[in-house]
Amino acid sequence: MNLDLVYRQAVLSVAGNPRVEALIKGRARSLVRRYVAGETLEEALRAAEALEAQGVHAILDLLGEMVRSEEEARAFQEGILVLVRALAEKPWPKYVSVKPTQLGLDLSEGLALELLRGILREAEPKGVFVRLDMEDSPRVEATLRLYKALREEGFSGVGVVLQSYLFRTEKDLLDLLPYRPNLRLVKGAYREPQEVAFQDKRLIDAEYLHLGKLALREGLYVAFATHDPRLIAEVKRYTEAFGIPKTAFEFQLLYGVRPEAQRRLAQEGYTVRAYVPYGKDWYPYLSRRIAERPENLLLVLRSLLGG
């Protein structure tokens, strides 16, 4: 039995219960502050500035996903445009992440493309890079179509994400090669059935390294998004052994997770970015963080017991 998988699926299942959601939203604020910069853009920018002082760059993400109306999707687009304009005034690297369902993908692929196009038209001239996040497996195909459409329209300041736990990912990577994508590689944080995803952590890790090395050999710029010390060490060993410069890849970690490792990697000369989420729609994001690490569940329980 894969205990990691059992734990993750159990947490994600329980987190979907409305009563559990209400309880955590009401009483686990201390844990939220550990992983979420705040509910406002001003708080997120302060967190980003603090990271920059430590040599770590920030990826700003206005939290939100799976909107239910066009009005809500357009409101999120405006919030992201406000973020883009604020970043344009900053002297440090400018980088945002967006989720397709935040911009109406579940309502209409055309709507999501329209709103993404509007974001990129403002972001690219301001030097703001936009990462198109990847969500759960039913939405992968549409997300890849959005990315390809944007690239075919001439947008270059946009990146994509692939997840190593999905069986389909190597084929997706090969299909993307003509676009020379700026790639973020993750293991995957959603609850996926055994028909579409590896269920064994060892296989997911092995596939992660296989895909990352394949992308590097193909000359792609790769953002290795992981906190696993073994995977980070292997990426460092592989790139050093084959003379791949530090400018050809980077490491990405989550805000509030292993900050000492983030600073150490930056001091070693690697490009390091911390994913800095903010906004009021933080519960789905927090649920996935709890599902990733049993220690986080203990923090939740302490928050609940302590009020």
Please list the helix, strand and coil fractions of the chain in percent, rounded to the nearest 5, in that order. Answer: 55, 15, 30
DSSP strands (E only) in the chain: 57-62, 94-98, 128-132, 158-163, 183-186, 222-225, 249-254, 272-278
Q: Is 118 exposed, middle or buried (0-12, 13-18, 19+ CB in 10 A)?
A: middle
d(CA 33, CA 189): 20
27 flagged as catalytic: no
Phi, psi (degrees; rounded to nearest 5) at 54: -100, 5
Three-state SS string across 56-104, please? CEEEEEECCCCCCCHHHHHHHHHHHHHHHHHHHCCCCCEEEEECHHHHC
Phi, psi (degrees; rounded to nearest 5) at 122: -90, -35
For Cα atoms 197, 297, 190, give the angle at the middle one, nearest 5 degrees.
Answer: 20
136 flagged as catalytic: no
**Of the residues 8, 139, 184, 273, which is catalytic?**
184
**Of the residues 133, 136, 139, 289, which is catalytic?**
133
Active site residues: 133, 184
